[in-house]
Amino acid sequence: MILKAPTSGEITVLGLDPSKERGKLFHQAGVQLQETVHQNDARVWELCSLFAAMYPDPLDYKKLLQQFHLQKKAASPLSKLSSGQRQRAALILALIGNPKPLFLDELTTGLDPQSRREIWNYLQELQSEGRTIVLTTHYMEEAAFLCDQICLINHGRIIAQGTVEQVIEQAQIDLTITLQSEAPILPFLEGLPYISRSTQAGSQVSISTSSEQTLADLVLRLREHNLDYRRMTISYPELEDAFLRLIKTEAEKRVSS
């Protein structure tokens, strides 16, 4: 189960030490690696049968093939499967042992958007079964869509962890309010709290703020001065924005130290 010797610290999975109790853990955890090499001429059902023989109480792989819509490809060699189908097959192989935790490494890398979304739907089905899934991904959209808990790692160091909302909050990124107006808006923003930056280029106005309250304050201020506006929107930071801000902050800390 453990592929690389730790440099320091301790880790347990299901109360077991992966470096000392590999055999016990093998039968309780499922793993899908980013690059798994199987014989290309091996047929899907043959690999499923082989993997099932490794576990004392495997899941019925025929039912898994149906669940992941690969039953019609059971007799096909791996080399004849599309990228999305190969990833589904890899997921089935990781599930055959009926694992308690499931470790997935870059499961959707290289897939087209449709295939990626299909994999997401399958993972949500597994989540609804109560399975614990540890997912490694470089796609922030994927992490935000699937994960209950996020751990952002940069150069081997954890820079933030928590729910998606908590990680975004840790990055301390302002909200952005935009609107269009032919009137000069900026002079009328004076005194409004929470605003950190405001610009106006022609009719396009952009306001950065740390609080949603600014939206209500802004509307009242514009009405108070009879200022016409249109297309007012508020944009919230995404997980990718938070990640970029956090790694920038981390880099600045390293330079200053």
pLDDT tens per residue, range 180-206: 999 999 999 999 999 999 999 999 999
What band does 3 get if pLDDT is binned at 50, 70 and 90?
low
**Alpha-carbon radius of gyration of the chain:** 25
| Domain match, 207 and 107 both | no
Cα–Cα distances (Å) from 47 to 23, 90, 166, in that order, read 21, 10, 41
Structural domain count of the chain: 2
pLDDT tens per residue, range 203-218: 999 999 999 999 999 9
CATH number at residue 91: 3.40.50.300
| Domain match, 184 and 130 both | no
| Domain match, 47 and 111 both | yes
- 192 is in which domain, residue-wise? 174-236
| Domain match, 96 and 212 both | no
Residue 164 lies in a domain: no
Q: Which two tokens stand for residue 12?
A: 């347990």
Quote the pLDDT of residue 52. 95
- Least-confidence region, from 10-14, 147-151, 158-162: 10-14
Residue 156 lies in a domain: no
Quote the pLDDT of residue 105. 93
Residue 132 lies in a domain: yes
DSSP 8-state secondary structure symbol assigned to residue 208: E
Average pLDDT over the chain, rounded to an integer: 91
The pTM of this model reads 0.80
pLDDT tens per residue, range 18-31: 888 888 888 888 98
